[in-house]
Amino acid sequence: MKGNVLKLRKGHALCMALLAIAAAGTLLLKAPLWAQEDPVDPCHFEGRHVGWFASLGTFSLASTEDIEAIVGESSLDREGKAVKPIQIRGMAGRGRATGIGETVYWLDTSRPVASGIRAKLRGQEFPAVHEMGFHLFLTTEALPGQIFRSINPAVMVNNNSMSFPPKPGSRYVLKNVVEFEDVNDPGFVVARIVSNHNQYLGSGRLGISRRHEN
């Protein structure tokens, strides 16, 4: 694969967890064949994250974000159901919440997480379970100069996906609590995202920037 297809202008930094997909073994092919070299148009989402910072307390963050991905070739799993791997190539979002101010988050490309679509029935691709997983960096206005990274990946799921790219209005929820550590003082949980609900709005770029390169 050629370079990093997501080139978001350097600027802000990251923040909390949202969209995305974790490793369910049956979702991935051991040696996926990528059906496309270029990503699909960036997917535009909006959502709400509920979480907690050790030094700031709880928050409820409304955000928007972009996700870019490439799609692999379809195959059949051991149950004879269609599976299609998805590689998240870029993600960044921004939101604001009382008590923490503006928060920005983006993809940690050094720690890829399995993502994909798995049909619910044999002989047809949809309906399907669509999972997106990723590790994240994040920053928040209330804690200037600090960068946080996810300890465990965020996993977003749509349990009744009817197409890919998804149809506008498709909803995704966070499967797991996501914990964060300070990149300069690792090993301690300093923040959590405990729930997240997102809605797909359509394709298009938000121009959200990231500051941290890895």
- The answer, yes or no, to whether residue 111 has pLDDT greater than 60, is yes
Q: What is the pLDDT of residue 165?
A: 83
- The pLDDT tens digits for 176-212 are 999 999 999 999 999 999 999 999 999 865 444 444 3
Q: Is the pLDDT higher at 18 or at 136?
A: 136
pLDDT of residue 39: 52
pLDDT of residue 26 exceeding 50, the answer is no
Q: How far apart are CA 148 and CA 105, in angstroms?
A: 9
**Token couple for 67:** 């996700």
DSSP SS3 for 27: helix
- Cα gap 174→154, rounded to integer Å: 7
pLDDT confidence bin for 29, thresholds 50/70/90:
very low
Residue 35's pLDDT is what?
42
> Please, are residues 42 and 68 in contact by the beta-carbon 8 Å criterion?
yes
Residues 3-32 have a mean pLDDT of: 33
Q: How far apart are the first and last CA of the chain?
A: 17
The helix or strand, by DSSP H or E, that contains position 32, with its residue range, turns out to be: none
**Do the Cβ atoms of 53 and 144 come closer than 8 Å?**
no
Residue with more model confidence, 206 or 101 = 101
Domain boundaries, the chain: 25-203
The first and second tokens of residue 55, run together, are 């030094």
Q: What is the pLDDT of residue 50?
A: 97
Mean predicted confidence (pLDDT) in 66-76: 92
- Model pLDDT, residue 164: 84
pLDDT at 153: 97
Sign of CA pseudo-dihedral 32, 135, 187, 145 = positive
Q: Exposure of 38 by Cβ count < 10 A (0-12 exposed, 13-18 middle, 19+ buried)?
A: exposed
Length of the chain: 214
Nearest to 75 by CA among 31, 16, 17: 31
Query: Mean pLDDT, the chain, as a whole number?
Result: 82
Query: Got the DSSP string for 138-150?
Result: EEETTSTT--EEE
0.85 surpassed by pTM: no
